[in-house]
Amino acid sequence: MSFIQLENITKVFAGGEKPAVDHLQLNINKGEIITLLGPSGCGKTTTLRMIAGFENPTNGTIQIGDNEVFSDAHSLPPEKRGIGMVFQDYALFPHMTIIKNVMFGLNKWGAREKRKRAKEVLELVGLEDYGSRYPTQLSGGQQQRVALARALAPKPNVVLMDEPFSNLDAGLREKMRFDVTNILRKTNTTAIIVTHDQKDAFAVSDRVVVMKDGLIQQIAAPKEMYRCPKNCFVAQFVGKTNLLTGTMDTDLRNIHTHIGKVTLPNEWQERLDTVKLSIRPEGCSLSDEGAYCGQVERVTYSGEYQELHVRLHNEPELSEEPMLIYAPVEKDVEIGTIVSFDIKPELVALVE
């Protein structure tokens, strides 16, 4: 049985027309790191708050470890759910030293155990020498680690983090993604992280849950999510893509589109007529004798690669979107250049 079970969780706020969270179904294993990913307003924070016990679902049940923490019959208060919370702004107490901040969640522990445990978790996050400082004397990344240490101190069943990286600048953000996952892994902590940033989600999670309008769109490991997005929304939300319509060949593998024949990585399980394809820009590689050919309309240089917008020659109508293709930076490409390219089936997916 899964360690955490969210069964059919629905939340309708008073005055809200549509549910903020709609029949959410999710099982999480012990030690797993899960991310809720989606645009602003899709119900991520509400889901997290219901797990924490700050908000009661309208319907559904929540199981954490051995405890049913919410059902029609009862709702356990947050402090009895065994959760550790890390807030977006870290919510450290400015007038307390770091060690006092960490000890705050341990009020039921004896004085000596409290201090011992606080030192232990500060060491775990690499801040054992900072116990007597105040939060304002620490950098953003260090404050983040204190918040995590405080959440981990009472040995919670699960750590919940709402947008933990959004207050950090790009360089530090990458380091913190690594540090936070490292600490969670080392302690075999189960964690649910909320973010609207696909890069955060992919870098830290075992599985990603993409949400939209309160509904789960797809649950998958990052690689699978990127290569096999289930629908157009997921395909566009996790990275850039080309969406094309086509008709399926009787071989169940080739799709006839306005740019020509595009091949799926595997035979589809059933014959469909009209289908939608997602083709990742990295799946299109320039090649002297490629199967597809077109004129470059736009070049955007990113440093790591060049984004080309290529207008295909055999497009029946100019209203079709140009193809987005990534070209290596060392390649000289200019607007107006005719290029040819191939498409790797591994980065083609059939989407709903």
Ligand X SMILES: Nc1ncnc2c1ncn2[C@@H]1O[C@H](COP(=O)(O)OP(=O)(O)O)[C@@H](O)[C@H]1O
Judged by the rule CB under 6 A, the positions of this chain that interact with ligand X are 13, 16, 20, 38, 40-46
Nearer to Mg ion, 38 or 222 (CB): 38
Query: Is residue 157 close enough to count as binding Mg ion by CB under 5 A?
Result: no
Annotate 168-205 with b (16+ C-beta within 10 A) or e (fewer): beeebbeebbebbbebbeeeebbbbbbbbebebbbbbb
CA atoms within 13 A on the CB side of 218: 21
Those residues with Cβ within 8 angstroms of residue 97's Cβ, 6 or more apart along the chain or in another chain? 131, 132, 133, 134
Give the residue at shortest CB distance from Mg ion: 45
* Residue 145: count of CB within 10 angstroms of its CB: 26
CB of 38 to ligand X, least distance (A): 6
Tell me if 195 contacts Mg ion by CB under 5 A: no
Strand order through the sheet with 254-257? 260-263, 254-257, 242-248, 274-279, 348-351
Question: Which of 210, 275 has the CB closer to ligand X?
Answer: 210
By CB under 5 A, is residue 45 in contact with Mg ion? Answer: yes
| Minimum separation from the CB atom of position 244 to Mg ion (A) | 33
Asked if 264 and 307 touch (Cβ cutoff 8 Å), the reply is no
Helices (H) and strands (E) in the chain, counts: 8, 20
Cβ closest to Mg ion, residue 85 vs residue 124: 85
Beta bridge partners, 305, equal none
Q: Which does 281 bind (CB under 5 to 8 A by kind): ligand X, Mg ion, none?
A: none
Q: Whole-number minimum distance, CB 234 to ligand X, in Å?
A: 16
At its nearest, how many Å lie between ligand X and the CB of residue 192?
A: 13
205's contact among Mg ion, ligand X, none, with CB below 5 to 8 A by partner kind, is none
Least gap, CB of 198 to Mg ion (angstroms): 15
Decide whether 38 or 84 has the Cβ nearer to Mg ion.
38
Q: Which residues bind Mg ion (CB under 5 A)?
A: 45
